[in-house]
Amino acid sequence: MAQERSSRELYEAYKETAQKAADLGNAAAVLGWDQETYMPQKGFEFRGRQLATLTSMAHELTTSDDYGDVLHTLSAGNGLDDTEKQNIRLSVEDYEKNKKLPPAFVEQLTMQTSASYNAWLKARKENNYSIYAPELEKMIALQKQMADMLGYEGHPYDALLNEYERGATVAMLDPVFAEVKEQLPPLLGKIKQAHQVDDSFFYRHYPKQQQWDFSLHVLHKMGYDFDAGRQDISEHPFTTSFAPTDVRVTTRVDEDNFASLLWSSIHEGGHALYEQGLPHDQYGLPLGAAASLAVHESQSRLWENCIGRSLGAWKYFYPVLQQSFKEQLADVSLDAFYKGMNKVEPSLVRTEADEVTYHFHVLIRYEIEKGLISGTLSPKDLRDAWNTAYQKYLGVTPPDDKQGVLQDVHWSHGSFGYFPTYSLGSFYAAQYFAQAKKDIPGLAQQVEQGEFAQLLQWLRTNIHQYGRRYKADELCKKVTGEGLNFSVFMQYATEKYTGIYG
């Protein structure tokens, strides 16, 4: 009993420390959300310092020797249930990894993130990569330093991949992207030879408020809890969570491109549903966090593509949309709208790419990141490398930096190793949706009626409730019976686009 009581006391001490660190991290996340939504321009001067203070304090809490002693004692003893053991196992992994990063380095990285982000905003505003390049170069140097600190067996990029996707390596991802390069171009080639569908109606004038109101309706129907979240405007759409009871999404509005807001709202809504579905009683602990970035992306892509770009969903949503935009859509049939929303065409901007060409955008970033981290590509040559890759894979060349190398915010945040999870997420999404259709009787009919409660509950039961208990591939095996299988995505895409393009 003494040992059990001791383990209980130690677990409570561990939990208190972990949750305090989460409180600090989430307070920093509020400041980060404010920085990207409402903060005045002059706020950048001190915001970087404020964020650095909070993140370094959180880092110190979870890398202290006392915290490590508690973790190692608990991991070696008894008296914990399975959930508690899983939290300790994952926290030991995190501790040993975080211990490799000195607090001074974490603070330096946080301050550089703020400086890089500010430079990215200015560069986008002036459409000039050279404004951003010096700060990006500093960020890449820090990322290389971090890779060395964390350690790796193969490619230095492996250390950074593991930050977003546990267990992911270049050796694992190269074969996946080899399949992309082998199997997607023939499908894209057939589509190019077919009669192109018309999506011009998306570029008519759609007033901002009406777009906004419709996006809120869609999020509500998906099951997004507005008492535990909100939607705002930002330069680059994102989702941020401070707790399962406060998960916020952002989007952007272009009155002459309705697709810009529509897909980003649904996409971010998918991320938010995952965060809102994580176990409340595991707040601040590993089992209260998302499994991985790829699993996170599988949730957004399932909602955005498998549901949001399906004919079934628009049998419900399109009459509602037509009521909001009677003039703009009076001459557009449901079939034409469905085909138009799924138009496949090589483009310049990743976030607005179709389901087929999207993965070439990710492939380009994956290959560039490997080069930047290995040192075979210099930041000063990044613009040229970017433009060359776009011509090679998609047959298009960016006319300017804003539509080219400056389009993504990720590198300014130091998110190297993040991009591959976008494609992995799409591939997992196809597998999860195929399984959901098997497990939920009448799912197709429910979707056509705008009823998504059973699908959301299926996701809550099969994915959300587990937090970080499983790695992405392990979770996929548990849910579908097999690990990552690119052929399921190819079957989904081939069937869908054969129907659209004949």
Report the catalytic residues: 268
Residue carrying the six token digits 């659209």: 500
In this structure, what token pair is assigned to residue 93? 């992994």
In DSSP terms, 239 is beta-bridged to 249
3-state secondary structure of 254: coil
Q: In whole angstroms, what is the distance from residue 140 CA to residue 147 CA?
A: 10
- DSSP H helical segments within 375-470, as ranges? 382-394, 420-439, 443-448, 453-462
End-to-end CA distance of the chain: give it in Å, rounded.
70
User: Rounded to the nearest 5°, which phi and psi values hold at 81?
Assistant: -80, 180
Q: In whole angstroms, what is the distance from residue 154 CA to residue 388 CA?
A: 27
In DSSP terms, 231 is beta-bridged to 249
User: Please, are residues 270 and 249 in contact by the beta-carbon 8 Å criterion?
Assistant: no
Q: In whole angstroms, what is the distance from residue 297 CA to residue 426 CA?
A: 7
3-state secondary structure of 326: helix
Q: Give the C-alpha distances (Å, rounded to integers) separating 42 from 31, 38, 49.
A: 14, 12, 13
DSSP for 39-73, please give it: --GGGHHHHHHHHHHHHHHHHHHTT-HHHHHHHHH
3-state secondary structure of 247: strand
The number of C-alpha atoms within 13 Å of 288 and in the hemisphere containing its C-beta is 18
Burial of 129 (0-12, 13-18, 19+ CB in 10 A): buried
**Consecutive H or E run containing 195:** none
Q: Give the C-alpha distances (Å, rounded to integers) separating 145 from 26, 140, 141, 159, 469.
A: 26, 9, 6, 11, 29
Among 484, 386, 430, 373, residue whose Cα is nearest residue 150: 373
Q: Give the C-alpha distances (Å, rounded to integers) separating 167 from 301, 372, 418.
A: 22, 21, 13
Residues in the chain, total: 502
